[in-house]
Amino acid sequence: MQTDFSQAFLKGLPDLLLQLWFIWLILGLVLIGKIILYLLEKQKLAKSGIADIDSMDGKKFEKYLEVLFERLGYKVERTRYIGDYGADLVTQKNGVKTVIQAKRHKNKVGVKAIQEAVAAKEYYNCDKAMVITNSYFTTQAKELAVKNGVDLWDRKDLVKNLLKIKKEGEIKITQTSPEVISNDPSDKCFICGMTVSEKVRQYCLDRPEKFGGKIYCYDHQKKVNTSPKTGEKA
């Protein structure tokens, strides 16, 4: 009887292997598909401007910061979404380990975020702590951060760093994303076309909330009053 079983098994082995091969092929294609979707999502996040960030939920904002810090040369680890002990990201660069608390808010960020970052620094055994927001911080939060050595990135700092990861030809700018500069390295005034000095050009780029990522000559800088939300002149 054992011989009959062995013969039956050997007879059916080719069909079994064929079925297993087909299953492994399907699993492989699913895995490749997930990897492609993951890479496409990261590429899309890397192209995000501040207007896109304003519409993100908290989890997507964390994913964006993960991509941002990777592009800035950091090794990044995202913590679990629930029960993260006040940390959303843990980054490492040049031997320095930093815990990051991400706050995608419409209002100003208060002292609670600073307290959570301080606690997370100890829990994750990090050298530094940081809180990042697309908004701004209250005066009390800033004072507490200084006393506890917590680095803060507000909206202006976030914009400056997202501009760093933009590559020439990588994105097209829309009027609804005023803080993202064009990939055209022009040094001409947006209104009159006059060539400006590097100092004037940098002055405009360092103030995206006022000039919307555009270049203006000295005379036209006084006439520009850009809305941070729409990029339209008031």
- With 0.85 as the threshold, say if the pTM is over it: no
Structural domains in the chain, sorted by start: 50-161 (3.40.1350.10), 171-234 (no CATH)
Q: Are 53 and 104 within 8 A, CB to CB? A: yes
CA distance 39 to 51: 22
The two tokens of residue 71 are 């592009």
Give the pLDDT confidence of 87-120 residue by residue, as tens digits. Answer: 899 999 999 999 999 999 889 999 999 999 999 9
CA distance 46 to 40: 10
CA distance 146 to 155: 18
- Residue 126 vs residue 32, higher pLDDT: 126
Q: What is the pLDDT of residue 177?
A: 35
Give the pLDDT confidence of 150-178 residue by residue, as tens digits. Answer: 999 999 999 888 887 765 334 333 333 33
Give the Å distances, CA to CA, from 9 to 12, 15, 44, 140.
Answer: 5, 10, 51, 75
